[in-house]
Structure 1
């Protein structure tokens, strides 16, 4: 975490510079020297406020997660609490559109995703993000399905989000948000129909 007292203007400046350097040379080659040059600051500022490269990388990851959380929360607040499928689509939107779909952000996400397997702090951030996504989905799904079914479908949607996002990030054409919506909603509709038909058959 950045030390208290760092000018607010510096944090987004350094986060943006970090993503630009990762985009250009990759995570492992993204040195403090390159990032400080990109941001137009001295290496001493990064070392003082972030304790070096790792602290800056962690703050960059936190900022990406904050943006994702804020986007989804804002969209959910704008929807009626009983518009469950619309709210699920808002959760999907937050992962595929706007800030998260920007090229530098997507490449940084991908770099952190692989790096987090070997770094406890980044792994913890990734787990927090995963739990938040599943929690958002289960809240909406539990109004339409049993708790056990909601759990299973939430994991299915989360897996589709991750898989489609990964394929889109590796694709030179980028992420196709419309195709992501179509695939995930097709899965959701089939799951809702399947569980509804099972209930009908048991009651008949």
Structure 2
């Protein structure tokens, strides 16, 4: 008889193992056997908890996406904008295993409809969250443009840092550039 409360722990162990294995060998090389071995479990447990490798990969991507959500929304639109930038450059998003998993995921999402859907969801959520805060500070058209540009800066700077395998200082500089853009836009429009 399975122990009560073990399922969430085991699911997380498999997600963590998936992220580690994908970071080492890419999505194509991440087999059920490698993942289950890394998690210290039998290969059948993946089917039991997730139904298969594809669902486990999607769960792992959703886990990384969840790390981009705010636990509590800051009080002001400006603080919320800064928090969005902070989350996208957080320690979790800078970790070598996360960056390699994101890069593998983005590459595979061009050919996999389910992963593409998750990527589109992530992209739309980032722009929507930025636009929501900018709309409280700027005219609607300005807010729309500022949100699109800020999202592109976040993704672009993060991608450059991840691809160059730079140190934490480089991620900090990238985060600073994104925050400076927000400050500059708000100053330009007389908000700050």
TM over 0.5: yes
1:140 aligns with 2:133: yes
- Check conservation: 2:158, 2:171, Cα contact below 8 A: no
Structure 2: distance between partners of 1:22 and 1:47: 18
- Check conservation: 1:75, 1:90, Cα contact below 8 A: no
Structure 2 counterparts to residues 110-149 of structure 1, below 5 A? 110-149=103-142
Structure 1: stretches of 5+ with no match in the other structure: 198-204
Q: Give the equivalent residue in structure 2 for 1:34.
A: 34
Structure 1: distance between partners of 2:28 and 2:167: 23
* Structure 1 vs Structure 2 CA RMSD: 2.0
Structure 2: stretches of 5+ with no match in the other structure: none
Structure 2 counterparts to residues 86-105 of structure 1, below 5 A? 86-105=79-98
- Check conservation: 1:6, 1:49, Cα contact below 8 A: no
1:127 CA drift (Å): 1.4
Q: Give the equivalent residue in structure 1 for 2:145.
A: 152
Q: Give the equivalent residue in structure 2 for 1:19.
A: 19
Structure 2: distance between partners of 1:39 and 1:30: 13
2:7 counterpart SS class: coil
- Check conservation: 2:161, 2:171, Cα contact below 8 A: no
2:28 counterpart SS class: coil
1:133 counterpart SS class: helix
Q: Give the equivalent residue in structure 2 for 1:179.
A: 173
Structure ID, larger Rg = 1
Number of positions where the alignment pairs a residue of Structure 1 with one of Structure 2: 186
Deviations 1:15-63 (A, max 9, x none): 1111111111111111111111111111111123222211110111111
1:143 CA drift (Å): 1.8
Structure 2: distance between partners of 1:6 and 1:60: 18
- In the superposition, the TM-score normalised over structure 1's length comes to 0.84
Structure 2: distance between partners of 1:50 and 1:60: 11
